[in-house]
Amino acid sequence: MKQIGQENRRGVLRAGDRVQITDPKGKLHTIVLIPGGKFHSARGVLHHDDVLGLPDGQVIDAGDGRTFQVIRPLLADYTLSMPRGAAIVYPKDAAQIIQMGDIFPGAAVIEAGVGSGALSLSLLSAIGQSGTLLSVEQREDFAEIAAANVDLWFGCRHPAWKLKVGDIADVLASQPESSVDRIVLDLLDPWTHIDGAAHALRPGGVLICYIATVPQMSRLTDDIRALELFGEPQVWESSIRPWHVEGLSVRPEHRMIAHTGFLFTARRLASGAMAHHLDRRPAKASVGKPGAWNGIVQWSDELVGFHKQSPKKTRRIVRDLRGKVKMWLQEGPHD
């Protein structure tokens, strides 16, 4: 079995390694190298044997002067190309969660709303083998997709990872008091779990939430202030604007990665500590009133504008991933 960590992404290219191919037109393709294998494209054929045993980062002549670049993908590349059962946390947001949430090596982390496993990959890379990550997902099919995506990246089940199908409320309630360093919630209604998060988090621990819409962000902020168990929350979003650099044509690209979600962090106060109230003078009409949420009882994907993936497509993704895992176990290298 492949080793966990950076070791399986170093050294020469081996059978079972995942590589990213850039064709002559710049299009990206992700494949797994196997002896005797061939990659076919409209731009030519690449023989796997031509790169097996060579150092990472090869440029291979397709035979007609056109070339393919072959290199191991970065985690961000893999995340954006892996099969999805649910919308993923984009690399730009995962990076903010790791840094602004201070996810450190050895940390004890609980994550709720695993989806396709994109954020789990970043969290596991940050905590290392000395930490613990408990990921909780309500849907069994999503959990299976996430497990396959994560296991295929690391080459086996990461020793720091435990994936549980269930309700995050029950998981938080079952945790010993003040036993967790960080809690990450990627849920439609994170405010319903802030009491449980306050119970499980250590004093000074960080609650991180990933939320999609302004009403969700506003309600979460109001509720966490009213609870008075956390410090003043911080809320922001991140956008990335790529640039086109070609000769004298240096300008912003026409498309950018703009709003994907709001990021929210708050620090757990010590038990019995008095909440710190900032000196602010908002207009009375601007102060949120608890419960004033237009009669919304249960939040749904449709209510906040998410596209709901069909069960048929989800079943197909699960079936395809099972096949990939089976093929990797049969053909991949084993230590």
Residues 63-79: pLDDT tens digits?
A: 777 889 999 999 999 99
Is pLDDT of 264 > 90? yes
In 3D space, the residue among 210, 202, 19 whose CA is nearest the CA of residue 122 turns out to be 210
Of the residues 258, 274, 290, the one at which a domain ends: 274
140 and 108 within one domain:
yes
End-to-end CA distance of the chain: 5
- Residue-wise pLDDT for 18-58, tens only, equals 899 998 888 888 888 999 999 888 778 889 999 999 999 99
The tokens for 178 are: 């003040």
CATH code at position 146: 3.40.50.150
- Structural domain count of the chain: 2
- Asked if residue 147 is part of any domain, the answer here is yes
In 3D space, the residue among 257, 278, 119 whose CA is nearest the CA of residue 183 turns out to be 119
Of the residues 31, 56, 73, the one at which a domain ends: 73
Per-residue confidence band for 308, with pLDDT thresholds at 50, 70 and 90 = confident
Range(s) of the domain holding residue 189 = 77-274
Is pLDDT of 6 > 60? no
Is pLDDT of 181 > 90? yes
Of the residues 247, 274, 301, the one at which a domain ends: 274
Q: Is the pTM of this model over 0.85?
A: no
28 and 84 within one domain:
no
Separation between Cα atoms, residue 180 and residue 101, nearest integer Å: 13
- Residue-wise pLDDT for 153-171, tens only, equals 998 899 999 999 999 999 9
Helix (H, G, I), strand (E, B) or coil at 184: strand
Q: What is the mean pLDDT of residues 214-224?
A: 94
**Can you list the alpha helix ranges (DSSP code H) found in the chain?**
75-81, 91-100, 118-127, 140-154, 168-174, 194-200, 214-227, 311-331
143 and 267 within one domain:
yes
